[in-house]
Homo-oligomer: A and B are copies of this chain.
Amino acid sequence: MRGDIEDTPEYCDVEAAMEVLGGRWKLAILKKLLDGTKRFSELKRALPRITQRMLTRQLRELEADGLVTRTVHREVPPRVDYTLTETGRSLDAIANQLDAWGRWYRATRGEQAGAEPAEPGSPQVERSR
């Protein structure tokens, strides 16, 4: 069973994904935008722990990577809103599974580190194997 294809030192595509989605905020922002278009202040309110500075920067990067669209309405007061592109929406399943996993992980770690809870063995996510 030594296929040794498994050990191929090729560039892992997970790395490619993490270069775009890496950092602490990208996926959290994506997740919020899955509900629909949101303006800057709505996102800021939805993510209280991110600073304005970081939110701006992360949104610009997501825009540059083609995951969100930024729309500026020239009115007073100013209004800018952000919408997921098709590419951004393609992360729907992954973002939701990460959300479920995060909740599950926090629960298991919060109660007792290392033991399996009475809950379903996994988050909503289906396990392989």
Contact = CB atoms under 8 A, between A and B. Distances in A.
Copies in the complex: 2
Interface in A46-79: 46-49, 66
Nearest to A42: B7
Contact of A101 (B7, B25, B90): B90
Contacts of A9: 45-48
**Residue from A11, A19, A46, A98 having most chain B Cβ neighbours under 10 A:** A98
Interface residues of A, number: 67
A116 to B, nearest CB: 5
Contacts of A102: 13-18, 20
A43 B21 CA distance: 22
Contact of A22 (B23, B103, B129): B23
Interface of A: 6-9, 11-25, 27-28, 31-32, 35-36, 42, 45-49, 66, 85-87, 89-106, 108-109, 113-114, 116-117, 121-123, 125-129
